[in-house]
Amino acid sequence: MSAAEKNRMPADLAPAVAEIRDLKVVFATDDEPVEAIKGITLSAYAGEVLAIVGESGSGKTVTANTLLGLLPETATTSGAVIVRGRAGDETDIVHADHARMRRMRGRDAAMVFQEPSTALNPVYTVGWQIAEGIRAHANVSKKEARARAIDIMQRVGIPDAATRVDDYPHQFSGGQKQRIVIAMALVLDAGLIIADEPTTALDVTVQAEILDLLRTARDEFGATIVLITHNMGVVADLADRVIVMYQGDIVEEAPVRELFANPREEYTKKLLAAVPHVGQGKSADGPSSRRSAPRSGGGGDPVAERAQRDEAPEGSLIVASGAEIGYPGRFGRHAVVAVKGVDFHVGPGEVVGLVGESGSGKTTIGRAVVGLTTVLGGSLTVLGQEMRGVKPRTLTPLRPQVGFVFQDPATSFNPLLSIAECIAEPLIVHGRASGLQAARPRVNELLDAVRLPTSFGDRYPHELSGGQRQRASLARALALDPKLLIADEPTSALDVSVQATVLELFVQLQAELGFASLFISHDLAVIDAVSDRIIVLQQGRIQEQGTTAQVLGDPRDPYTRELLAALPVPDPVAQAERRAQWEAVRRH
């Protein structure tokens, strides 16, 4: 029996590294107190990965923060929260003083935060930040602390660690920054690691690497991991046991395979049913699932045939031919070319998915379509307008015909304007309405179209949930009846059930209104749900393009196969096979 298998002993034999008994957390507000946690009890045992899942507002992050005593002063806590160190000493989180908590954090329990960019201090080198934790808990010299920082960076897979230890956070990619945050959690040999949405903002291939690293933390470092996530594919890939939370309470708890094979509670069933995965969308129905295109005399599908030959149909809204997109050089410097000679098109009423990792050029193409990024070479025409060398004034008549749905509606909405004012703004700017009062009938019509009550128009952006804000963002993008919609990662930050609702709404509206769309995402399962054709980008070049069924069902490029293999599926048995497949693809 391996050390990892011994660690994952049954609950009645293994010691609990963390225990929560009858925990209640209440937050004081200007109105009524908010009961965030309603008397939950749970345990995390040595060497296991315990996943806590649920939608936003379920209480999973509050539970995680309670384990490290990171709740704000407005929180009132009751019950028992115990963390046990490797040496057997216990910390009562609810009653411990600041000195005791300081000794416990990092040594007995450590946190891996969702966004490493905010967890790392931008003005200090990563080596200094890792060494700071070492010197806070151990009487070691700067030289020894630095050596240990280099060693842990090597162990978490940072290449050339002896040199990169002196680099700053902004000099690392998102996946590398997350590795450094994990290194900070592991460097003091903490027995408990709390990982709060550690892969939410990462591409599927980087996500797979981080999950491998967390698996190493469990198997080689002997750490117990409490994983907070809403991604059920990640749960299937990594977790041993799952706790499902809803509105501050635990609704179900089971070993991972049992939960996925036989969920008991209705809420768990809905959560699992909402997870998109490849094979449920357009790739399951073939290349012309939504439109019954006329057949050619030979009986073939003209949409699929054009995609195979990469021919743009007559009336295409976007046509790129050898397009180079990037950023002109300043002060005598050379231009930065982010997209290198791409050829693609978006036909009338067609949804084209644009996929690839961060830095592949997806968003650069989307921004170039609306004139926000410069076309440096080749040709890019949008609604008949050549974008290379175009003047901003020339784009004025084009703008009402192109809508844009941003990744994060919380930052794209003006927080000082009501939702109705935000949606009405394009109508007023382009002279379709004289003011809010004149635009309100159209605003109400749009709110109704995106399944929001018209009364929500009087609310402000912060008063809506993430999914509600994204629907309002979609309403604003459709306000001028655009012929073309650019959707840039519109569901990446949403819970699975909310994501499913937004995707379903997008498909319905696209079918009803008939607009064409360039849908940008790094998630192939999301692309599968909405797209007729797929373009796969890597480092600014197109690796593969074709119908959804062709690209996802029979990928020809190794990079596409790697993306598919790295995508976790919500099935522990199937995911174990896919993990082995991904590792084999990566080795070759």
Mean pLDDT throughout 407-425? 88
pLDDT surpassing 70 at residue 424: yes
Q: What is the DSSP letter of 223?
A: -
Which range, of 56-70, 309-323, 397-411, averages the lowest pLDDT?
309-323
What is the predicted pLDDT for the residue at 580? 79
Higher pLDDT, 525 or 375: 375
Contact indicator for 289, 303 with CB cutoff of 8 Å: no
Within 21-115, residue ranges assigned H as helices are 60-67, 98-104
Token pair belonging to 374: 């410069």
- Over residues 6-39, the pLDDT tens digits come to 444 444 446 789 999 999 999 987 778 889 999 9
Mean pLDDT throughout 572-577? 84
Which range, of 156-160, 263-267, 285-289, 547-551, averages the lowest pLDDT?
285-289
What is the predicted pLDDT for the residue at 259? 94
Higher pLDDT, 308 or 537: 537
Confidence of residue 239 (pLDDT cuts 50, 70, 90): very high
Percent of the chain surpassing pLDDT 90? 49
What is the predicted pLDDT for the residue at 284? 65
Mean pLDDT throughout 392-418? 87
What is the predicted pLDDT for the residue at 4? 43
Contact indicator for 231, 568 with CB cutoff of 8 Å: yes
Token pair belonging to 577: 């096979």
Confidence of residue 586 (pLDDT cuts 50, 70, 90): low
Q: Name 368's Cβ contacts closer than 8 Å, sequence gap at least 6.
A: 323, 325, 339, 374, 375, 380, 387
Higher pLDDT, 375 or 277: 375
What is the predicted pLDDT for the residue at 342? 94
What is the predicted pLDDT for the residue at 285? 58
Instruction: Report domain extents, the chain.
Output: 3-108+190-273, 117-189, 282-433+463-566
Contact indicator for 22, 249 with CB cutoff of 8 Å: no
For domain 3-108+190-273, the CATH class is alpha beta
> The domain 282-433+463-566 belongs to what CATH superfamily?
P-loop containing nucleotide triphosphate hydrolases (3.40.50.300)
- Over residues 449-461, the pLDDT tens digits come to 998 899 999 999 8
d(CA 117, CA 97): 29
Mean pLDDT throughout 208-212? 87
What is the predicted pLDDT for the residue at 587? 66
The owner of tokens 């830095």 is 359
What is the predicted pLDDT for the residue at 281? 66
- Over residues 297-309, the pLDDT tens digits come to 334 444 444 444 4
DSSP string, 523-575: -HHHHHHH-SEEEEEETTEEEEEEEHHHHHHS--SHHHHHHHHHS--S-HHHH
Using only the alpha carbons of the chain, give its radius of gyration.
26
Confidence of residue 295 (pLDDT cuts 50, 70, 90): very low
- Over residues 327-343, the pLDDT tens digits come to 887 666 777 888 999 99
Higher pLDDT, 463 or 5: 463
pLDDT surpassing 60 at residue 42: yes
Q: What is the DSSP letter of 187?
A: T
What is the predicted pLDDT for the residue at 365? 94
Beta strands in 328-373 (DSSP E): 336-346, 351-355
Q: What is the pTM of this model?
A: 0.76
pLDDT surpassing 70 at residue 292: no
Q: Which of 130, 129, 87, 85 is nearest to 109 (CA)?
A: 85
Question: How far lies 492's CA from each of 203, 215, 447, 466, 488, in Å?
Answer: 10, 24, 22, 11, 9
519 backbone dihedrals φ, ψ, rounded to 5°: -105, 110
What is the predicted pLDDT for the residue at 14? 60
- Over residues 72-117, the pLDDT tens digits come to 888 999 999 999 988 888 899 998 898 999 889 988 999 998 778 8
User: Is the fold of 3-108+190-273 the same as that of 282-433+463-566?
Assistant: yes
pLDDT surpassing 60 at residue 566: yes
Average pLDDT, the chain: 85
What is the predicted pLDDT for the residue at 321? 94
Q: What is the DSSP letter of 459?
A: S
Helix crossing, 204-219 with 174-186: angle to 10°? Answer: 10
- Over residues 136-176, the pLDDT tens digits come to 888 889 999 999 999 999 989 898 999 999 999 988 877 88
